């Protein structure tokens, strides 16, 4: 069997190629053969992962592997409790990750569920109703208003057929379908007017088509295949944590080896003792609580975002939003409301806003809008063609008594709309005459108009008036308005059979109506706020160039309609190779008449520029790009299950402005994780330096249990609380971090180094004071006192330092030292737990420490206060000299 032809072949050729017959359809035997050949009309399910696989996938992260090694090390040194604690942290982190993934719907399965359940098909000369998955290429399918197109097809008959294809093309207005050949080699999906596509909706008329593609060979199937093959992008958070894990691993190994070698060669220690010392250093260097802290901070961010109607499906997506530089948004249903609305009307040679009260000839125009209309109202909801429902809604908005109008002027006859003449006519008896209404394309209707209604008087239409009407039509069109013209005539008698030539002439022009799929009211402000935050918004749509450009200007995505260089169509994009497009991508802000593969190319091109890309959308056609983007954002109300399944985040209220709120939350989450990392790593560096120098000096060294207790108590609670800090002022006025930024950038790395050195120096100084000026003359007791002072100092100094890490450069008095109640509680709890090891009998013997007197406590607390003073002085110099924020 030859390959089925598409829009550029005649229906007769296609029927021949498919070996089928329009009048009789396929035979039962032929259907059975084709089911064997082509398989069911269903989408293939993607290969899923089991819950167990998802769980083990959580352990592939390098930081997690480092922690597992730390647990083995702790167990090997006899610290079983510490090993259990580390393993518990790792397992909890994995459970969090699996829980988030388990909530997600599989995107390919969602596509499968969208398939139409039934189809009316002509087989063996009879019309049968069959399951849509039983269709095969060559089947003859009959469609009418309300049907879902069950497979890809070429139309062989159409009668005023209109199909809404927004989920595939992004174009909100239903497409008029034809059965003629379209002479073109290449056409965008939305311009293939003699084709029907699986899962689109019939809104008006009737049609018959021959199935040309089923299952994975349909346009929806092609998208499903793209979606299945799309690579999962590593988020900036995952990249940063992976990089941090690698750096820490290398540093830990280097430090441990150096200490081991020095001890063996210089101090002539036994290899067993030095191995235990090296292990202590490794335990000190590993931030055991970091993965749990990151997970908890992200989870808290998801909770806050859910309250703002942004539902996060994958935890790293919270932080990824904070680094977003590009937001590529679908137009229909995302930036716009996906419903036609009357915006302007033109009567008496004047243009009015839709809200202007109806008077004089405007009332006549409104009557025609309602009478020449097939909209039905069911349970208070307008059902029908979106254009016609907009005309009825316009009447309702002006509180017109439509039931009375329909009673006074009932419809008795009509000439339905067809795509050739682009007109629709209805007949209504009134006061012994026939009131004939006509609506249609302005250029077609004006050819049949001879008179015009002006101030209640019917006059001959002058050339100047005709030019004014055409100019008004053009002006509204360039503003992305869809324009319809309306006219009428009153006649005594009508022919038995209505024809266009006899009825649709000698008309009285009444007015024009300009309609649009209006932008969401909050979007323009959201785009402006995104621009202030250094984020560029792109419009990516299947709509026509002029429509897309006009909407982009209204939203502030384009500065002016004359900025034509910033707009590109899918056809123009096809002419550019990937390298050329990637080099030119910064030029374009609006993409019109695009196909699904174009959206993926756009995302890839920006990613090649090193940008972090967020993609929003609600249709099936958006799914591959949503999955390819750094963060995919689906609409929760109007979005298809496909787009939701492919996304990282879902907007529960379909509100574009929610994205800006989510970006702010994402930036706050990153900033708070960065604070926690600064706090943890500076503390761990202080611990490593303390142990390293104590080893070199031959002093009594802190045991692994000391380090693990400090890491568990004084690291974890304050670090988690830092993740709950409020957003710093002006966070949405900063430029995006971008992909190259990491947790150690923006001065954090240098802060970690000098603050870690300071912590270590102060701890060593306290130990030196304790050993040099002992309270007890007994050397053993003096060493135990000094070791206790070093242990307490190393723990409490971190709690003091936590206040300074509330901001990298701002003073603690500016950001508010005590405004985070959770932080205050965490510091108090950690301080009490540290004190408990000193004061509680039995517990202090477990930790090999001894109670301190007031002199010793004064030295310990003085070191903590000095830590804050020095850091605040350094930050003051940075603000004054280096103009840091």
Q: CA 626, CA 631: separation in Å to the nearest integer? A: 7
- Tell me the per-residue pLDDT of 569-604, one tens digit each, with 9 for 90 and over: 988 999 999 999 999 999 999 999 887 678 889 999
The per-residue pLDDT for 508 is: 97
Q: CA 629, CA 869: separation in Å to the nearest integer? A: 45
Q: Is 140 helix (H, G, I), strand (E, B) or coil?
A: strand
Q: CA 837, CA 849: separation in Å to the nearest integer? A: 8
Distances (CA, A) of 720 to 327, 673, 828: 30, 9, 14
- Rg of the chain over Cα atoms, rounded to whole angstroms, equals 36
The per-residue pLDDT for 234 is: 57
- Confirm if 125 and 187 have CB atoms less than 8 A apart: no
The per-residue pLDDT for 463 is: 94
**Residue 126 belongs to what H/E stretch?**
strand 126-131
* Residue for token pair 């000098």: 754
Most confident of the ranges 59-73, 443-457, 764-778: 443-457
The per-residue pLDDT for 544 is: 81
- What are the helix (H) ranges across 609-715? 623-628, 641-646, 656-697, 704-710
Considering only residues 794 and 299, tell me which one the structure prediction assigns the higher pLDDT.
794
Q: CA 555, CA 529: separation in Å to the nearest integer? A: 12
Cβ neighbours of 864 (radius 10 Å): 20
Considering only residues 879 and 801, tell me which one the structure prediction assigns the higher pLDDT.
801
- Confirm if 517 and 544 have CB atoms less than 8 A apart: no
- Tell me the per-residue pLDDT of 498-545, one tens digit each, with 9 for 90 and over: 888 889 999 999 999 999 988 888 889 999 999 999 999 999 887 888
Cβ neighbours of 707 (radius 10 Å): 27
Residue 883 pLDDT > 80? no
pTM value > 0.75: no
Average pLDDT over residues 658-685: 87
Considering only residues 491 and 170, tell me which one the structure prediction assigns the higher pLDDT.
491
Q: What amino acid positions are annotated as catalytic residues?
A: 330
Most confident of the ranges 112-121, 738-747, 777-786, 790-799: 790-799
Query: Mean pLDDT in the chain?
Result: 83
**Residue 751 belongs to what H/E stretch?**
helix 748-772
Sign of CA dihedral 797, 800, 805, 809: negative
Confidence of residue 427 (pLDDT cuts 50, 70, 90): very high
Residue 116 pLDDT > 60? no
Residues of the chain above pLDDT 90, percent: 38
Residue 66's nearest CA partner among 291, 260, 315 is 291
Q: CA 481, CA 478: separation in Å to the nearest integer? A: 7
The per-residue pLDDT for 110 is: 42
Cβ neighbours of 779 (radius 10 Å): 10
Residue 4 pLDDT > 80? no
Residue 264 pLDDT > 80? no
The per-residue pLDDT for 107 is: 36
The per-residue pLDDT for 111 is: 37
Average pLDDT over residues 397-409: 94
Residue 564's nearest CA partner among 583, 541, 582, 546 is 546
* Range from 280-284, 432-436, 743-747 carrying the lowest mean pLDDT: 280-284
Considering only residues 659 and 640, tell me which one the structure prediction assigns the higher pLDDT.
659
Residue 237 pLDDT > 70? no
The per-residue pLDDT for 391 is: 96
Q: CA 315, CA 300: separation in Å to the nearest integer? A: 10
Q: CA 824, CA 572: separation in Å to the nearest integer? A: 59
Q: Find the largest Cα–Cα distance for the chain.
A: 127
Residue 850 pLDDT > 80? yes
Considering only residues 848 and 274, tell me which one the structure prediction assigns the higher pLDDT.
848
The per-residue pLDDT for 337 is: 81
- Tell me the per-residue pLDDT of 441-459, one tens digit each, with 9 for 90 and over: 999 999 999 999 999 999 9
Residue 816: strand pairing partners:
none
Q: Contacts by 742-747 with C-beta closer than 8 Å and gap 24+? A: 742/239, 742/240, 742/243, 742/244, 743/240, 743/241, 743/244, 743/673, 743/674, 743/677, 744/244, 744/677, 746/674, 746/808, 747/808, 747/809, 747/878, 747/884
Q: CA 29, CA 18: separation in Å to the nearest integer? A: 15
Burial of 385 (0-12, 13-18, 19+ CB in 10 A): buried
Report the 3 state secondary structure along 283-344: HHHCCCCHHHHHHHHHHHHHHHHHHCCEEECCCHHHHHHHCCCEEEEEHHHHHECCCCEEEE
Q: CA 584, CA 565: separation in Å to the nearest integer? A: 11
The per-residue pLDDT for 108 is: 35
The distance from CA 350 to its chain's CA centroid, rounded to whole angstroms, is: 43
Residue 418 pLDDT > 90? no
Q: Cα-flanking dihedrals φ and ψ of residue 428, to 5°?
A: -135, 115
- Confirm if 766 and 789 have CB atoms less than 8 A apart: yes
The token pair at 251 is 């540093």
- Confirm if 712 and 838 have CB atoms less than 8 A apart: no
Residue 112 pLDDT > 70? no
Query: Which segments within 58-103 are labelled E, that is strand?
Result: none
């Amino acid at each position: 069997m030859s390959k089925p032809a598409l829009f550029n072949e005649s229906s007769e050729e296609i029927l021949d190629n498919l070996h089928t017959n329009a009048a009789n359809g396929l035979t039962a035997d032929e259907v059975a053969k084709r089911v064997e050949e082509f398989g069911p009309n269903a989408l293939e399910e993607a290969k899923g992962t089991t819950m167990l696989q998802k769980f083990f996938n959580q352990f592939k992260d390098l930081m997690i592997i480092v922690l597992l090694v730390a647990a083995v090390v702790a167990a090997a040194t006899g610290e079983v409790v510490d090993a259990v604690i580390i393993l518990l942290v790792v397992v909890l982190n994995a459970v969090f990750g699996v829980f988030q993934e388990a909530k997600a719907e599989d995107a390919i399965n969602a596509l499968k569920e969208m398939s139409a359940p039934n189809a009316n098909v002509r087989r063996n000369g009879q019309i049968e109703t069959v399951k849509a998955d039983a269709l095969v290429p060559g089947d003859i399918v009959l469609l009418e208003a309300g049907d879902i197109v069950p497979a890809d097809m070429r139309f062989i008959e159409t009668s005023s057929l209109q199909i809404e294809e927004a989920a595939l093309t992004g174009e909100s207005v239903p497409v008029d379908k034809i059965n003629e050949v379209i002479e073109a080699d290449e056409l965008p999906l939305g311009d293939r007017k003699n084709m029907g596509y699986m899962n689109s909706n019939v809104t008006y008329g009737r049609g018959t088509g021959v199935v040309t593609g089923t299952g994975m060979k349909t346009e929806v199937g092609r998208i499903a295949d793209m979606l299945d093959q799309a690579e999962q992008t590593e988020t900036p958070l995952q990249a940063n944590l992976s990089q941090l894990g690698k750096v820490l691993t290398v540093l830990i190994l280097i430090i441990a080896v150096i200490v081991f070698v020095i001890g063996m060669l210089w101090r002539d220690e036994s290899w067993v003792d030095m191995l235990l010392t090296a292990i202590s250093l490794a335990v000190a260097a590993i931030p055991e609580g970091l993965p749990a802290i990151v997970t908890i901070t992200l989870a808290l961010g998801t909770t806050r975002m859910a309250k703002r109607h942004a539902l996060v499906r994958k935890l790293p997506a919270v932080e990824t939003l904070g680094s977003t530089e590009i937001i590529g948004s679908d137009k229909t249903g995302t930036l716009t409301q996906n419903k036609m609305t009357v915006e302007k009307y033109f009567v008496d040679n004047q243009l009015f806003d839709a809200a202007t009260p109806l008077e004089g000839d405007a009332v006549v125009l409104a009557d025609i809008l309602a009478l020449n209309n097939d909209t039905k109202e069911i349970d208070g909801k307008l059902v029908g063609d979106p254009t016609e429902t907009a005309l009825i809604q316009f009447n309702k908005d002006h509180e017109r008594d439509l039931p009375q109008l329909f009673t006074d002027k009932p419809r008795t006859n009509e000439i339905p709309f067809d795509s050739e003449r682009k007109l629709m006519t209805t007949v209504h008896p009134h006061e012994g005459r026939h009131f004939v209404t006509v609506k249609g394309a302005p250029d077609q209707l004006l050819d049949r108009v001879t008179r015009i209604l002006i101030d209640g008087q019917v006059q001959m239409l002058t050339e100047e008036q005709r030019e004014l009407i055409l100019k008004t039509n053009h002006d509204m069109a360039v503003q992305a308005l869809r324009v319809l013209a309306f006219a009428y005539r009153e006649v005594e008698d009508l022919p038995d059979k209505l024809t266009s030539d006899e009825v649709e002439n000698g008309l009285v022009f009444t007015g024009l109506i300009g309609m649009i799929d209006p932008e969401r009211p909050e979007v323009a402000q959201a785009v402006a706020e995104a621009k202030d935050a250094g984020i560029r918004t792109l419009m990516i749509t299947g709509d026509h160039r002029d429509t897309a450009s006009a909407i982009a200007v209204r939203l502030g995505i384009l500065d002016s309609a004359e900025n034509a260089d910033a707009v590109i169509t899918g056809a123009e994009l096809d002419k550019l190779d990937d390298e050329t497009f990637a080099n030119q991508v910064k030029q374009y802000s609006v993409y019109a008449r695009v196909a699904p593969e174009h959206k993926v190319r756009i995302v890839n091109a920006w990613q090649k520029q090193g940008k972090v890309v967020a993609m929003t959308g609600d249709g099936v056609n958006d799914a591959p790009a949503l999955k390819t983007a750094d963060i995919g954002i689906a609409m929760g109300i109007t979005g298809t299950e496909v787009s939701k399944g492919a996304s990282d985040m879902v907007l529960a209220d379909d509100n574009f402005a929610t994205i800006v709120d989510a970006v702010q939350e994402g930036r706050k989450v990153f900033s708070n994780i960065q604070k926690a990392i600064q706090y943890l790593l500076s503390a761990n560096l202080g611990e490593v330096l303390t142990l390293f120098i104590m080893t070199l000096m031959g002093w009594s060294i802190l045991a692994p249990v000391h380090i693990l207790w400090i890491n568990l108590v004084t690291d974890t609670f304050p670090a988690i609380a830092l993740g709950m800090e409020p957003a710093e002022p002006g966070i949405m006025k900063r430029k995006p971090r971008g992909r190259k930024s990491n947790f150690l950038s923006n001065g954090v790395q240098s802060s970690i180094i000098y603050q870690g050195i300071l912590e270590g120096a102060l701890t060593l100084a306290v130990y030196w004071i304790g050993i040099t000026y002992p309270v007890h003359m007994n050397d053993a007791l003096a060493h135990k006192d000094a070791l206790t002072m070093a242990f307490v100092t190393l723990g409490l100094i971190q709690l003091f330092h936590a206040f300074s890490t509330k901001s990298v450069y701002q003073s603690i008095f500016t950001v508010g030292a005590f405004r985070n109640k959770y932080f205050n509680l965490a510091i108090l709890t950690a301080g009490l737990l540290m004190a408990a090891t000193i004061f509680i009998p039995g517990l202090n013997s477990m930790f090999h420490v001894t109670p301190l007197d007031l002199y010793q406590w004064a030295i310990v607390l003085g070191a903590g206060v000095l830590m804050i003073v020095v850091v605040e002085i350094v930050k003051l110099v940075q603000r004054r000299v280096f103009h840091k924020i």
